[in-house]
Structure 1
Amino acid sequence: MSRVRLGRWLLVIPMGLLAFATIYPLLFTANVAMKTRREYILDRFSLTDSLRFENITTAWTSVGMGRYAVNSVVVVACSVFLLLLFGSMAGFALSQLRFRGSNALFIGCLAALFIPFQVIMVPLARVMADSGLVDTYPGLILAYVAQFLPFTVFLMTSYYKTIPAEIVDAARIDGNTVYGVYRRIMLPLGAPALLSVGILNTLFCWNDVLISLLLMPSADHRTLMVGVTSLRGQYSEDIPTFASGVLIAAIPVLAVYLFLQRQIADGVAAGSTKG
Structure 2
Amino acid sequence: MRGARISRWLIAVPMALLALATIYPLVFTANAAMKTRRDYILDRFSLADSLRWDNIVTAWTSAGTARYFVNSVIVVAGAVALLLLLGSMAGFALSHFRFRGSKALLLGCLAALFVPFQVIMVPLVRTMADTGLVDTYPGLILAYVAQFLPFTIYLMASYYSTIPSEIVDAARIDGNSTYGVYRRIMLPMGRPALLSVGVLNALFCWNDVLIALLMMPSAEHRTLMVGVTSLRGQYSADIPTFASGVLIAAVPVLTIYLFFQRRIADAVTAGSTKG
State the 1:14 CA deviation: 0.9
The one-letter amino acid paired with 2:36 is T
Superposition map of 1:98-177 within 5 A: 98-177=98-177
Residue deviations 1:188-219 (CA, integer Å, cap 9, x gap): 11110000000000000000000000010000
Quote the offset at 1:257 in angstroms: 1.1
Quote the Cα distance in structure 2 between the aligned partners of 1:98 and 1:165. 12
The residue number in structure 2 matching 1:82 is 82
Shift of residue 86, structure 1, vs aligned partner: 0.1
The residue type paired with residue 242 of structure 2 is F
Q: What is the deviation of 1:108?
A: 1.3
Q: Deviations over 1:104-145 (max 9, x none)?
A: 111111121111100111111111111000100000000000
Q: What CA distance in whole angstroms lies between the structure 1 residues aligned with 2:9 and 2:258?
A: 26
1:98 deviation in Å? 2.2
Question: Residue 272 of structure 2 aligns to a residue in which SS?
Answer: coil
CA distance in 2, matches of 1:180, 1:4: 54
Distance 2:15 2:98 in 1: 46
* More displaced 10-residue stretch of structure 1: 218-227 or 99-108: 99-108
Give the SS at the match of 1:260. Answer: helix
Task: Please give the alpha-carbon distance, in whole angstroms, between the structure 1 residues aligned to 2:112 and 2:216.
Answer: 24
Structure 2 distance, partners of 1:262, 1:103, is 30
Q: After the TM superposition, which residues 1-275 of structure 1 pair with which residues of structure 2 at under 5 Å, given as runs?
A: 2-275=2-275
Hey, what's the Cα distance between the residues in 1 that align with 2:98 and 2:87? 18
In the TM superposition, residue 67 of structure 1 has moved relative to its aligned partner by: 0.6
Task: Write the distance in 1 (CA, Å) between the matches of 2:274 and 2:179.
Answer: 25
Amino acid in the other structure paired with 2:216: M
Post-superposition Cα deviations, 1:170-198, rounded to whole Å, max 9, x if no partner, equal: 11111100000000000011110000000
Counterpart Cα distance in 2 of 1:2 and 1:117? 49
- The whole-number CA distance in structure 2 between the counterparts of 1:209 and 1:26 is 19
| Greater shift in the superposed pair: 107-116 or 264-273 | 107-116
Q: Deviations over 1:220-264 (max 9, x none)?
A: 100000001100111111000000000000000011111110000
**What is the TM-score of this pair, normalised by structure 2?**
0.99
Q: SS at the partner of 1:271?
A: helix
Deviation at 1:159, TM superposition (A): 0.5
**Distance in 1 of aligned mates of 2:182 and 2:41:** 60
| CA deviation after TM superposition for structure 1 residue 3, in Å | 1.6
- 1:48 positional shift: 0.9
Q: SS where residue 211 of structure 2 aligns? A: helix
Rounded to whole Å, the distance in 2 between the matches of 1:145 and 1:267 is 18
Tell me, in whole angstroms, the C-alpha distance in 2 between the residues paired with 1:155 and 1:226. 29
Measured in 2, the distance between the counterparts of 1:70 and 1:50 equals 30
Q: Distance in 1 between matches of 2:21 and 2:138?
A: 38
Structure 1 alignment gaps of length 5 or more: none
Deviation of 1:68 (Å): 0.4
* Partner amino acid, structure 1, of 2:2: S
CA displacement, residues 23-61 of structure 1 (integer Å, 9 cap, x when unaligned): 000000000000000001100001111211000000001
Q: How many residue pairs end up in the alignment?
A: 275
Q: CA deviation at 1:167?
A: 0.6
Q: Which runs of 4+ in 1 moved over 6 A?
A: none
